[in-house]
Structure 1
């Protein structure tokens, strides 16, 4: 990913939230999401990061159509050598084309190649489509749950893990 991809990545992420999370969180929240504000956050992270986060983009002849981001597992209570998939989004117009599978496979490959034993990710508990996607890719729910709230509405997340050593 390059700095000039931040606007398109933000558009894909916001449209992805608005599509994938419809009915799972307050519509007013989804409708108020700003591509411009999200792009600014991406630019700040991209230019101010410590290099531990990897951003991947998938492109077709029309430009960027998907984005994934991974890095060290984020756990304030314990430090691990594990990896975490922070985000993966595909332009809703490209759902079902295999772009998400390719991005996830590349993130897994890079994390395994870097010597990480496991890769974690968090997904909304009620996001059945995403959960099936991760399960088909070899991830399993490990029983951990996190509360997550959007505008006073609980939308809990569940953690998934995949062994990268096999």
Structure 2
């Protein structure tokens, strides 16, 4: 994807989306016994402008349609809704990260990429 800088191997990768002199956001993923996503960060000023969606679509293409797992802070409702738009659902697992930050585990079951991509589903490539 134009404008996304990728690095990585078959087992791990990352993507960075530049925005002028700044890095608008990044995400990291790993393939092992399972594919995991994390971390994923965006600058506040680019949230809601399609940047997260671009990074997520890039990541999902890299996974090849495999199931993906992640941990997200339970009270970060915006992040939870974002992941849900891309087909992630809660597994029911919870943990306290470093004994104080409540996280929940989410999974995106394997499926054809067109079936889970909200941009494809709704004909809108500006989802964040």
Normalising by structure 1, we get a TM-score of 0.57
Provide the rounded CA distance (Å) in 1 between the counterparts of 2:71 and 2:81: 13
1:84 maps to 2:43: no
Once superposed, what is the RMSD of the aligned Cα atoms? 2.4
1:70 aligned onto 2:29: yes
Q: Unaligned regions of 5+ residues in structure 2, if any?
A: 113-128
Equivalent residue number for residue 13 of structure 2: 54
SS at match of 1:107: helix
In 2: Cα distance, 1:70 partner to 1:50 partner: 10
1:156 aligned to 2:88? no
* Structure number with higher helix proportion: 1
Structure 1 residue ranges without an equivalent (≥5): 3-45, 74-79
| TM-score, with structure 2 as normaliser | 0.72
**Cα deviation code 1:115-137 (max 9, x no counterpart):** x6300110011111111111111
Matches within 5 A, 1:11-160: 52-72=11-31, 80=33, 82-112=34-64, 117-149=66-98, 154-160=100-106
CA distance in 2, matches of 1:60, 1:149: 32
Displacement of 1:51? 6.8
Moved over 6 A (4+): none
| Count of residues paired in the alignment | 108
Q: How far off is 1:50 after superposition?
A: 7.9
